[in-house]
Structures are given as structure tokens and as C-alpha cells.
A = this chain, B = another copy of it.
Amino acid sequence: MPGLIECVPNFSEGRRPEVVEEIVHAIGQIDGVTVLDHSLDPTHNRSVVTFAGSAEPVVRAATAAVGRALELIDMEQHTGAHPRIGAVDVIPFVPLGSTRLEECVDLARRFGEQVATRFDLPVYLYGAAALRPERRRLADVRRGQYEAIRDEIGAVPERAPDFGPARVHPRGGAIAVGARKPLIAFNMNLRTDDLAVAIKIATAIRESSGGMPAVQAMGVLLENPGMPPMAQVSTNLVDWERTGIATVVREVRRLARDAGTDIDHCELIGLAPTGALLEVAADTLGLMDFTPDQALELRLARDR
């Protein structure tokens, strides 16, 4: 799998499954692309599609998705709880396997320029692909959402897009295109219903409050019907090669035991890079000289 890239576009449509199906279909019919997942969120009125392939098919599929979304979604009609700036709100490109982040940065910029021209759509580059440091954080690009960008894009210099016209697309608004490392959504459920313990641990481990690098965390209380409530430390690991699953679990376990409880079990949400899971196995076993190439199917996939 040389040069494998994942693409995770977010669309401002989570209530009409038939619309999302049409977008997924437009992506899936591109040769060389595999659709890995798609999900709808009616509350946020938003959907997320995950697909992968090598650079050229991924760009073709992302372009097809933008085209279809502009036909099917009208931002002037859109409401929902999640911040968004356009019909295709955000398109991140993510390196898989041995692909480097820099390749995704180049791809995002190339794709951003193409899509701006083709659809007459303003494009903001964010994340590792940002051309301006103040656009690295997606939240900063999205400030004030669609409505603020619509009103300011032609009038406020800081709002000028990186590519495309200085006015929003009549139906599609604007689009944020970026590059980032793969993200692991990983939760640890504690043997306690004391939310304060989960919040305290999350605060201790997250980077933003001085914890471990590349870790985002929050404490939540799980309340599922028929189950006792359970405090959870919910994390996003945004660069597992800096801070991996095993390191986070070790630290959360230590803090939980200090608080008189422990981790009961863990949850991996969605997909994770195989290397991040193999690292847990290698760490647990104290494996000498282990490389992910020793995993048979992975090695084969790399060589084929």
C-alpha cells in the first residue's frame, strides 16, 4: 500500500440519509478508493465519511464528494448544533502506513486550489496545511461559523480565503481543507460513578493543562439504561507516535489507583492505525526488537 492516504470529509447534513448515501456513492464509485465508514448525527445535522486510497484516487473522490454536496445541501437552509462553515465543512487528509504528513500537506494545498477554481468556492487551509499560523486550529478558522464568514469574507482582510473568491458559494458556503495525523478516539471506563475523579484525571493528562503531549481528554459520566453509571476518561490521541495508547493507559491507571479506583475496561471508537495497537502488544510483552513488519498481513499489505 504505497502512499496510502485517508480522507475524512464532514458534511453539513445529518438528517436526510438519502443525501449522505448519494455522497458516499459518489466517493465509492471512484476506482482505487475504499469507503471505510460513514455516520450521520441528526442532532448536529452533520455526517462524517471515512475513505482511503492513494493520492490521485483520493483527490478524485474528494472532488466528486464536494460536487455532489454542493448540489444537495444548501447552507441557507442548514441548522444544527455543531459549528460549520459550509456544505462540505471540512476535509482533512491523513497519512496512513508509511505515508508522511508532508505528503498530505502538499495534497491538501493542491486539492484546495483545484476545488476553489472548479466550484468557485472559498477555501481555507488549516492544520498542518495552513499557510497562516492563525489558521492552524480549525476552531479559529470556523469562528462565527457560516453566517459570520458569509458577512465578513469580502470585508474583513483576516477572513480572506486562501483560494477562491472572496464571497461564499451561494449554496455551499466555504470549506476548510487540511492535513493532520491520524486521530485515535480512546476511552477508559473507571470503576466508579464519581465524575469528579474522571474530570480530575482528564485535567491531569491533557496537553492543554500541562499533561502529556498530543493528548486531548475530558471526564464524562456514562449513563446507559439498565447499567450503573460509570465515570469515563474520554481521550483523543492526536499523535500516537508522541503519546501512545499504552502510555496513556499507564498514567490513567496510576491516577485512578491514587484515587482509590481503577480502569475497568477501555473502548476504541472507530478505527485506529494498526501500529498504535501493535505498540500496545509490544509494550505489554516487553517484546525485544519488535517491528510492525512482523505482523504478517501488514507486511504483505506494505509490499503489494
A264-B286 in contact (CB<8A):
yes
Q: Say which one of A71-79, A124-132, A273-281 lies at the interface with B.
A: A273-281
Chain B nearest CB, measured from A147 CB (Å):
36
* Interface flag for A182 (CB, 8 Å): yes
CA distance A300 to B274 in the complex (A): 11
CA distance A285 to B235 in the complex (A): 14
Annotate A267-296 by CB proximity to B: 1 below 8 A, 0 otherwise. Answer: 110111110011011001111111000111
A266-B285 in contact (CB<8A):
yes
Tally of this chain's copies = 2
* Interface flag for A204 (CB, 8 Å): no
A contacts with B, residue count (CB < 8 A): 44
Given that A34-B303, A277-B278, A303-B34 are known contacts, is A296 also in contact with B271, CB under 8 Å in the complex?
yes
CA distance A272 to B293 in the complex (A): 9
* Chain B residue at smallest Cβ distance from A285: B266
CB contact between A299 and one of B36, B245, B290 (< 8 Å): that residue: B36
A264 contact set on B, CB distance < 8 A: 286
A284-B286 in contact (CB<8A):
no
A274-B288 in contact (CB<8A):
no
* Chain B residue at smallest Cβ distance from A291: B268
Chain B nearest CB, measured from A196 CB (Å):
23
22 contacts between A and B (CB under 8 A): A6-B296, A36-B300, A249-B285, A265-B288, A266-B285, A266-B287, A267-B288, A267-B289, A268-B287, A268-B294, A271-B296, A271-B299, A272-B294, A273-B297, A274-B297, A277-B281, A277-B294, A280-B280, A280-B281, A280-B285, A298-B298, A298-B301
